[in-house]
Structure 1
Amino acid sequence: MGLMKRLDERAGLMGRMMRTVGATDAMPQDITLEATLRSAIHRCMGCDRPRDCAGWLDAHEDGAERTPGYCRNGELFARWTGQD
């Protein structure tokens, strides 16, 4: 898979995950947000389970309290939503 296609795929998965667990609305609007999101994108890009992620997201279209255990951004999103 080409880099641009992979970036597009992972951005879509990460956005869906954030919306599914409520992290989008809970993101801290502070000076560190850009750096934090950049790190989250790198973690997502390094994940070897995008198919599992897409399947999990399809099964949780109505939302979920937490990410699946294998999500590399699970701790970050849980912290943002007060689930940590």
Structure 2
Amino acid sequence: MSVLDIFGRLTQQADLMDAMMKKLGVEEEMWKMPDHAGVLRRAANRCLLCDRPDSCEHWLANESHPDEAPGFCRNHDLFERVLENMAHEKQPVT
């Protein structure tokens, strides 16, 4: 694998992670998290280790309003926690 191949993969995986966060509507919330830099770095590392970028790309292209990340997503649990936190924040205070 050449250096250009490595940079191409890094760019592709970063673009997929960004698209996944936007598709799920968690991008802004991720930046609000304590230690968001560390959280995003670990999420990016999980994404870089993913062996299913084609599946991810296909899922992103075919899902219009998903409730959650696909089960194969290495960041599924992280995104699920963020979505749950967002849902709790939207609940009216009684």
5+ long unaligned stretches in structure 2: 86-94
Hey, what does 1:3 align to over in structure 2? 6
* Alpha-carbon RMSD: 1.6
TM-superposition CA deviations, 1:2-21 (whole Å, max 9, x none):
11101100011001111111
Instruction: Give the structure with higher Rg (CA).
Output: 2
Q: Which has the higher contact order (CA 8 A, sep 6+)?
A: 1
Matched ranges for 1:1-84 at <5 A: 2-27=5-30, 29-60=32-63, 62-82=64-84
TM-score, scaled relative to structure 1:
0.88
5+ long unaligned stretches in structure 1: none
User: What is the distance in 2 between the residues matched to 1:19 and 1:63?
Assistant: 11
* Counterpart amino acid of residue 63 in structure 1: H
Higher helix share: 2
SS at match of 1:27: helix
* Counterpart amino acid of residue 56 in structure 1: W
SS at match of 1:20: helix
Identity %: 37
For the Cα contact (< 8 Å) 2:30–2:40, is it kept in 1? no
Runs of 4+ residues over 4 Å off in structure 1: none
When structure 1 is superposed on structure 2, of 22-31 and 5-14 the one drifting more is 22-31
User: What is the distance in 1 between the residues matched to 2:33 and 2:60?
Assistant: 28
* Counterpart amino acid of residue 47 in structure 2: C
User: What is the distance in 1 between the residues matched to 2:29 and 2:84?
Assistant: 9
Displacement of 1:45: 0.3
